[in-house]
């Protein structure tokens, strides 16, 4: 994990009113719920009294209520009520307080701040220049028994296309990899497949390779975007569960007709195309060892792995930067 980052962890639809939701993210068990105004809150999913999971309880007046003994905690983790002590109790309940986590919501995504509260970045990561209110999306999710770094790298891998996706997005037997060119501008890592059929020619180096109209973008720590055309995008956020598991949330965005109900129908069917491609990736990536990627894990990389190498270096630099601050 990279410390002091906003991680996209859940779609907004996952947390509804009057019902707490339990998830594991960033190696932490969390309970999320909404207050009476609809604002999302996030606490450690463990009652401080006897250790029960809070997400098995209910939401009452903006508090999550433990299913075991009815103890209530507000959106900041402060204990408001212990039924066994009575309504008239004057006892200080602060010893029951549970840890709360900073969360924000935008673009129908719930973000978790994984880091020091005082270091919180006010800007939430998203591809604002690529996706606006004209786009309609449909979403699917899938659990991978893989570290989130491996899942991300797979989406930056242009070498695997004619093999893993030989009958879908990698059709054409374009096994020769030119470059690829890799750009890192602002916070966005960008690359694209510039592959050709191998007829005995030498591959072009990165300087001669092109960033095509269809290109890949990655925004640290865990958002990826395939800019397919001016009217079609595929977005994935890779929600880290723990050191060996990730949940992928995959969205098919489009504004093909400009008529929202029709574009919504296109998005609905588009997500099934995403599912076919995603399952082709999954069957291979979950076999990779070691589970987490890194700069020195014994792999023998090639020129075509340039986007992955760049990702690893940037990720390593960000991790070292936070370690130095600590």
Global model pTM greater than 0.85: yes
Please give the average pLDDT of every successive group of 10 residues along the chain, which has 326 residues.
96 94 98 96 98 97 96 97 93 96 98 94 94 97 98 98 97 97 94 97 95 97 98 98 98 98 98 96 98 96 98 96 72
57 and 141, same domain (yes or no): no
Cα separation, 83 vs 66, whole angstroms: 11
150 and 281, same domain (yes or no): yes
Cα separation, 304 vs 150, whole angstroms: 16
Interacting residues of 301 by C-beta distance below 8 A, sequence separation 6+:
308, 309
Count how many domains the chain has.
2
Residue 121 confidence (pLDDT): 87
Using CA atoms, how far residue 199 sits from 107, 268, 305, in Å, is 45, 39, 21
Cα separation, 253 vs 131, whole angstroms: 8
Q: Which of 114, 148, 175 is the last residue of a domain?
A: 114
Q: What CATH number did the domain enclosing 18 receive? A: 2.102.10.10
Residue 120: inside a domain: no
Residue 126: inside a domain: no
Residue 121: inside a domain: no
Q: Are 252 and 265 in contact (CB under 8 A)?
A: no
204 and 280, same domain (yes or no): yes
Residue 51: inside a domain: yes
Encoded tokens for 92: 């200080």
159 and 91, same domain (yes or no): no
- For residue 223, the enclosing domain spans 136-324
Q: Are 164 and 287 in contact (CB under 8 A)?
A: no
Encoded tokens for 188: 């966005």
159 and 308, same domain (yes or no): yes
């Amino acid at each position: 994990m990279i410390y002091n980052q906003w991680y996209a962890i859940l779609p907004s639809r996952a947390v509804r009113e009057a019902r707490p939701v339990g998830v594991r993210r960033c190696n932490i068990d969390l309970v999320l719920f909404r207050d009476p105004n609809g604002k999302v809150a996030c606490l450690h999913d463990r009652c401080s009294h006897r250790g029960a999971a809070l997400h098995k309880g209910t939401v009452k007046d903006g508090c999550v209520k433990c299913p075991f003994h009815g103890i209530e905690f507000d959106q900041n983790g402060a204990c408001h009520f212990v039924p066994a002590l009575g309504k008239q109790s004057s006892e200080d309940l602060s010893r029951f307080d549970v840890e709360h986590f900073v969360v924000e919501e935008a673009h129908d995504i719930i973000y978790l701040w994984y880091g020091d509260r005082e270091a919180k970045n006010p800007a939430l990561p998203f591809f604002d220049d690529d996706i606006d209110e004209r786009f309609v999306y449909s979403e699917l999710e899938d659990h991978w028994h893989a570290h989130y770094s491996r899942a991300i790298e797979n989406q930056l891998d242009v070498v695997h296309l004619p093999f893993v996706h030989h009958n879908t997005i990698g059709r054409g037997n374009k096994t020769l990899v030119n470059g690829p060119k890799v750009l890192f501008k602002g916070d966005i890592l960008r690359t694209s497949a510039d592959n050709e059929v191998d007829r005995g020619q030498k591959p072009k180096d990165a300087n001669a390779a092109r960033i095509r109209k269809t290109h890949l973008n990655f925004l640290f720590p865990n958002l990826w975007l395939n800019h397919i055309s001016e009217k079609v995008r595929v977005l994935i956020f890779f929600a880290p569960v723990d050191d060996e598991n990730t949940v992928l949330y995959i969205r098919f965005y489009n504004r093909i007709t400009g008529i929202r109900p029709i574009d919504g129908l296109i998005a609905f069917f588009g997500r099934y195309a995403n599912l076919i491609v995603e399952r082709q990736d999954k069957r291979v990536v979950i076999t990779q060892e070691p589970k987490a990627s890194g700069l020195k894990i014994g792999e023998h990389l090639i020129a075509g792995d340039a986007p992955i190498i760049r990702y690893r270096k940037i990720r390593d630099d960000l991790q070292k930067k936070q370690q130095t601050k600590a």
